[in-house]
Structure 1
Amino acid sequence: MIIPVRCFSCGRVIASDYGRYIKRVNEIKAEGRDPSPEEIEKIFDDLGIERYCCRRMIVSHVDLISEIMPFS
């Protein structure tokens, strides 16, 4: 679905960081490889996402909007 605007646990705004996170991950994938856990951690650190609850919200998000749109 759509990324939640705020973290469910702490209330920090995370929706604005999601696009930048996806962009950085896609840059790594464009090189023909999957990002390592260390690279993911570096991306989060660069974006200023320090809390594990906020990281969980972004990492565990599954973008299904393109699959659901034909049914609306």
Structure 2
Amino acid sequence: MDVRAADFDLNKCMIAENLGQCYFGPDCMHLPSLVPGRSGFVNRTIATILSRRSLARRLYSFLRSSRSATLCVLGRSLIA
């Protein structure tokens, strides 16, 4: 599936494609925890946090709100 060809509003959700499967919104935050290779403290910490769907959902909500606030403060518009 071509994510760019699909009719999704990138201002409202995050989209990721991995091995032909699309992930939307909070599921995109969970996706990095599924990727092997957890060498290093930071990688293991991120994988641990994102492997818990409830934490990934809360983090996604926070990041989405932070993005909107940052764009507002910078006076920039949303993705056209």
Q: TM-score range by the shorter chain?
A: 0.3 to 0.5
Q: Which structure's relative contact order is higher, taking Cα pairs within 8 Å and 6+ residues apart? A: 1
Q: Given the two structures, how large is their TM-score scaled by the length of structure 2?
A: 0.32
The structure with the greater share of residues assigned to helix is 1
The structure with the greater share of residues assigned to strand is 2
